[in-house]
Chains A and B, each alone.
Chain A
């Protein structure tokens, strides 16, 4: 069975510093990996995804993520955090089979301090 872990419930970072939100996964076969962001009382917004190819994926709002197959990780990164990046971040994995469904991690709350 596939699963996603986000080992940190909360990440605090100072504005202007680099940020990392961690994600590890377990899936049979090659994974498809996604990052979403959720602001309070809103739906999830898509940030980026890894399907195949370059291990470094660039997405919206200056975010990027690095796929590491040997460590089964897909950490979200941003070189310089903004206060407006404060939100709940979800990692999701999808198997490469038609009709299979996403599995979401529990979420990591990011707080960027001014």
Chain B
């Protein structure tokens, strides 16, 4: 899991609540990513950030929001607009948003909506 930390490991949310997942990296990487993992579907990209103060929507951004105020931090907020938020969320980072650069992953946060 390298130098990427995610917290909390497990998160429970009531319907209608917003929750924020933390992702921090000490690798001095420019690019950071948020993925959602559901059984049998692989990883789907939610948001990514190529540099501080910039971020772009991925394939499934609806119901999510992010910020990138510091290079080492890329928090993800799951809003009440996300219809099916129960999933395993993975944060990753890479030195730069180039195709050759390996993405390194954090340990993940499992979100369950009660």
Contact = CB atoms under 8 A, between A and B. Distances in A.
A32 B99 contact: yes
A34 B97 contact: no
Contacts of B92: 44
Contact of B107 (A9, A32, A43, A49): A43
A34 B43 CA distance: 14
Given A101-B45, A107-B42, A44 B100 contact: no
Interface in A70-114: 90, 94-102, 104-107
A28 interface: no
Given A34-B102, A49-B102, A101 B108 contact: no
Interface in A36-58: 36, 41-46, 49, 51
A106 B107 contact: no
- The size class of the interface chain A forms with chain B is 20 to 34
Contacts, number: 61
B48 interface: yes
A95 B99 contact: yes
Contact of A43 (B42, B102, B106): B106
A-B interface, 4 closest residue pairs, ranked by CB to CB distance from nearest: A43-B105, A94-B99, A44-B105, A104-B43
18 contacts: A34-B102, A36-B105, A42-B1, A42-B107, A42-B108, A43-B4, A43-B105, A90-B42, A90-B43, A94-B99, A96-B99, A99-B97, A101-B48, A102-B45, A104-B42, A104-B43, A105-B42, A107-B42
Interface of B: 1, 4, 6, 33, 40-43, 45, 48, 50, 58, 88, 90, 92, 97-100, 102-108, 110
